[in-house]
A = this chain, B = another copy of it.
Amino acid sequence: MSTLSIFSLGGVYEIGKNMYGVQYGDDIVLIDCGSKFPDESLLGIDLIIPDITYLLENPEKVRGLIVTHGHEDHIGGIPYVLRQFNMPIYGTRLTLGLIEEKLKEHGLLQNTKRIPIDSKSVVNLGAFTISFFQTNHSIPDCLGVVFDTPMGTVVHTGDFKFDLTPVHKQSPDLHRMAEIGKKGVLVLLSESTNAERPGFTPSEKHVGDHLREAFAKAKHKVFVSTFASNLYRLQQVIDAAILTNRKLMLLGRSMVNVVRIASEQGYLHVPEGMLVEPEEANQLDRHRLAILCTGSQGEPNAALSRLSTSNYRHVKVEAGDTVILSASPIPGNEKNVSRIVDNLFILGAHVIYGSGSATGMHVSGHGSQEELKLMLTLMKPAYFIPIHGEYRMLHQHRLLAESVGMERDDVFIVNIGDVVDFTDGVPKQERKIPAGSTLVDGFGIGDVGTVILRDRKHLSQDGILVVVVTRSKADGKILLGPELISRGFVFAPEAEGLMEEASRVGLEALLKLQGEGVNQWGRVKQGLKESIGQFLYAKTKRRPMILPIIMDV
């Protein structure tokens, strides 16, 4: 019997870029391929995707990619990974619809095999018979994945909550989960996003109540900002607008796109004639209009931010309007969100902001501790791998597993690249495969590494000083310079004296080296760097990057 191996290429010890793999012998099936946004330390980087070295080393073994749902942290890496390595993609109708938008942008649609599935599908890939179960999250058509393998059953939950009063009909399929658990699960991979949060996450319906109330109270326009992908939320905003006899305007590219795709596919119900364009909206009474917009996380170029600085021609936030932030700020975004809230208040709007639990205007799409325990109890796996979360979340999820009766030794906390190998049904966490973060910058995938980032960091702090010296090729005599050009260091018109002094210091260092008979480029450059660098630090307490250039003519 072969070894059954489970690994993560992204999504553990981090939030985002989820990618997991199940391998049996020569068959690898992947689950999800997400992206995440860089933090401020990764200067100039656009996106982070999983490092797929392991797949590039084993291309003949990869049978396909199963996508659990259409969120960026599960699909955002797909076009970049496909540019390195093509494979068939399995997903539900909505999920594939969202992926296809990306493939089109990257010119990959023609060459990528896409296989629609639903919660009733059964897919045979190599040694695996793969089936699914319906879960409930903040986007429709979410799947959990069940791998029947020769060694036993592997379950991957995808993202989930147990919303028992869902807005659409997509209830979590408790009966199917119970059935899977009853038949026996060798290992469960379950998401840990809210493992730190006690209790049970409130139902999405809860938000609908508050939205309707706010719409009913509002005397003028109502703006609602939320994640475009949260179709349940969008539907509830649409319903509140209908109820209060308002037309609806959409602001923000992703909002317009998602509403189009989801309406076409039947996931969203917008009455004929309800949507208005800005020109038409302008003609309406203020209390006859609602606006759905992007930017709830404070993204500087998104609609809400532009509204807060009155940066749209056809629609303005005016005194007396209501603005609802139907989202909780994700850690790291608080400042940007607060700045927008400040500006909206300055415009005289009534702003409903803050955490969803305080305002009732947002609920999480992820299950809290009681729901994670419910999943563990339904699946009663022999072994458990908490996924989808930073270390403390995985750790808390392990404690939850222990609280429902699992042994600590049967829970495996893995980092990306760690492999859990099952031989004769017995797990062992010893082996590693290549894994990491691949940085996307412009067209470059993975070409920006530590050297470039270190240089960007240095440049960002104190700027650069280019030092150009022209020497005679014949006798090494200094013909011109040192000429100093700076950017991001000091403001040249104000620092002329400083620059002249620094040039003199450089020249002295050059002449001294010449006097000592030193004229190799390396040594001369080092001499310029050190002398000018020390001089400037003593004068300014700043350390610009110093880039000496020596031209021998």
Which A residues are within 8 Å of any B CB, using their own CB? 13, 39-40, 43-44, 196, 331-332, 334-335, 338, 341-343, 345-346, 351, 353-354, 390-392, 395, 441-444, 447-449, 451-453, 455-464, 466, 468, 470, 479-481, 483, 485, 487-491, 494-495, 539-542, 545, 547, 549, 551, 553
- A353-B392, A464-B487 known; 6 new pairs, CB 8 Å cut-off, are A196-B354, A346-B391, A441-B542, A457-B460, A459-B463, A468-B549
* Contacting residues, chain B, for A541 (C-beta < 8 A): 442-444
Q: A395-B345, A444-B540 are in contact. Are A549 and B459 (CB under 8 A)?
A: no
Listed residue (A334, A458, A460, A470) with the most chain B CB atoms within 10 angstroms of its CB? A460
**Cβ B456 vs Cβ A490 within 8 A:** no
A442 to chain B, nearest CB (A): 3
**Cβ B391 vs Cβ A466 within 8 A:** no
* Contacting residues, chain B, for A487 (C-beta < 8 A): 455, 459, 464, 545, 547
**Cβ B392 vs Cβ A466 within 8 A:** no
A488 to chain B, nearest CB (A): 4
A225 to chain B, nearest CB (A): 16
**Cβ B335 vs Cβ A334 within 8 A:** no
Q: How far is the CA of A25 from the CA of B61 in the complex (A)?
A: 84
A390 to chain B, nearest CB (A): 5
Q: A460-B459, A551-B480 are in contact. Are A490 and B338 (CB under 8 A)?
A: no
* Contacting residues, chain B, for A455 (C-beta < 8 A): 463, 487-488
Q: A43-B461, A342-B13, A442-B540 are in contact. Are A491 and B449 (CB under 8 A)?
A: yes
Q: A342-B13, A460-B43 are in contact. Are A553 and B466 (CB under 8 A)?
A: no
A537 to chain B, nearest CB (A): 8
**Cβ B460 vs Cβ A44 within 8 A:** yes
A223 to chain B, nearest CB (A): 16
Q: How far is the CA of A468 from the CA of B353 in the complex (A)?
A: 53
The chain B residue with its CB closest to the CB of A540 is B442
* Contacting residues, chain B, for A459 (C-beta < 8 A): 456, 459-460, 463-464, 487-488
Q: How far is the CA of A452 from the CA of B489 in the complex (A)?
A: 6
* Contacting residues, chain B, for A464 (C-beta < 8 A): 459, 464, 487
Q: A542-B442, A545-B487 are in contact. Are A456 and B461 (CB under 8 A)?
A: yes
Listed residue (A459, A479, A485) with the most chain B CB atoms within 10 angstroms of its CB? A459
Query: Which one of B443, B460, B540, B553 contacts A553 once the chains associate, using CB atoms below 8 Å?
Result: B553
The chain B residue with its CB closest to the CB of A14 is B342
**Cβ A551 vs Cβ B470 within 8 A:** yes
Q: Which 3 A-B pairs have the closest CB atoms?
A: A442-B541, A460-B460, A459-B459
Q: How far is the CA of A390 from the CA of B353 in the complex (A)?
A: 15
Q: How far is the CA of A551 from the CA of B452 in the complex (A)?
A: 28
Q: A443-B540, A468-B468, A551-B551 are in contact. Are A456 and B491 (CB under 8 A)?
A: no
A426 to chain B, nearest CB (A): 25
Listed residue (A338, A461, A468, A487) with the most chain B CB atoms within 10 angstroms of its CB? A487
A258 to chain B, nearest CB (A): 25
The chain B residue with its CB closest to the CB of A395 is B345
A439 to chain B, nearest CB (A): 12
Q: How far is the CA of A114 from the CA of B482 in the complex (A)?
A: 48
Q: How far is the CA of A13 from the CA of B343 in the complex (A)?
A: 10
**Cβ B463 vs Cβ A452 within 8 A:** yes
* Contacting residues, chain B, for A444 (C-beta < 8 A): 490, 540-542
Listed residue (A13, A342, A485, A549) with the most chain B CB atoms within 10 angstroms of its CB? A342
Q: How far is the CA of A374 from the CA of B487 in the complex (A)?
A: 53
Q: How far is the CA of A343 from the CA of B455 in the complex (A)?
A: 27
Q: A335-B331, A451-B491, A542-B444 are in contact. Are A390 and B456 (CB under 8 A)?
A: no
* Contacting residues, chain B, for A342 (C-beta < 8 A): 13, 390-392
* Contacting residues, chain B, for A549 (C-beta < 8 A): 466, 468, 483, 485, 549
* Contacting residues, chain B, for A343 (C-beta < 8 A): 391
**Cβ A463 vs Cβ B470 within 8 A:** no
Q: How far is the CA of A228 from the CA of B243 in the complex (A)?
A: 55
Q: How far is the CA of A441 from the CA of B462 in the complex (A)?
A: 9
* Contacting residues, chain B, for A480 (C-beta < 8 A): 551, 553
The chain B residue with its CB closest to the CB of A492 is B451
**Cβ A447 vs Cβ B43 within 8 A:** no
